[in-house]
C-alpha cells in the first residue's frame, strides 16, 4: 500500500472510529441483525428501514475497536438509499477487498470504501472490518439473527 493510502486509511479509521456516522438505532426499523467478533470483542447491531427493496435508513449501535466502528460508519453512509441488490454487490466487493486485497477489486466502484484496503495488511483485523457488513447482509436477508465472524 502506498504511503498516501496508508495515511488516508489511518486518518479515516481514526475519524470514523471516534465519531461514527449513523451511530443510532433506526426509528421504524423493519430489519435488524446483531454481529459479534469474539477475537476482538466487537458487538454491534445493524438496523434498517426498508421501503420495498430500498434501504431508506440504516444505523448501528454497539461497541468495538476503531476499525469495526469505522467500517460500520462507512458502510451506513454507503448503503443508505441503495437497493438491496446493490448493497449485496457492495458487500461482496468490500469482503473481497478486506480478505484478498485490492488486486482484483474494482476500486472505483468502492468510492470512499476503498480506504478499507488497508485492513488486508493486518489479517487479525479483517474480522473487525467485515463484522458490520456481515450483520448488514443478515439484516437484508431478514434473518434477525446474530452473526459471528468465527
- Would you kindly state where each structural domain of the chain is located, as residue ranges? 3-144
First to last CA, the chain: 27
b or e along 56-87 (b: 16 or more beta carbons within 10 Å of the residue's beta carbon)? ebbbbbbebbbbbbbbbbbbbbbbbebebeeb
Would the pTM of this model clear 0.85, i.e. be above it?
A: yes
Predicted confidence (pLDDT) per residue in 84-133, tens digit: 999 999 999 999 999 998 888 888 889 889 889 888 888 889 999 999 99
- Rounded Cα gap, residues 26 and 54, in angstroms: 15
Res 2: pLDDT: 59
CATH topology for 3-144? Sufe protein. Chain: A (3.90.1010)
> Do 57 and 76 meet the contact criterion of CB atoms below 8 Å apart?
no
Amino acid at each position: 500500500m502506498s504511503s498516501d493510502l496508508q495515511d488516508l486509511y489511518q486518518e479515516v479509521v481514526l475519524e470514523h472510529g471516534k465519531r461514527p456516522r449513523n451511530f443510532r438505532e433506526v426509528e421504524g426499523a423493519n430489519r435488524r441483525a446483531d454481529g459479534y467478533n469474539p477475537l476482538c470483542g466487537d458487538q454491534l447491531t445493524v438496523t434498517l428501514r426498508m421501503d420495498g427493496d430500498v434501504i431508506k435508513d440504516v444505523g448501528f449501535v454497539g461497541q468495538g475497536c476503531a476499525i469495526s466502528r469505522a467500517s460500520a460508519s462507512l458502510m451506513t453512509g454507503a448503503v443508505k438509499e441503495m437497493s438491496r441488490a446493490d448493497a449485496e454487490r457492495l458487500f461482496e466487493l468490500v469482503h473481497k477487498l478486506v480478505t484478498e486485497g485490492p488486486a482484483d477489486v474494482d476500486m472505483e466502484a468502492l468510492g470512499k470504501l476503498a480506504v478499507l484496503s488497508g485492513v488486508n495488511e493486518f489479517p487479525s483485523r479483517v474480522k473487525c472490518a467485515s463484522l458490520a457488513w456481515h450483520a448488514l447482509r443478515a439484516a437484508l436477508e431478514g434473518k434477525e439473527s446474530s452473526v459471528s465472524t468465527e
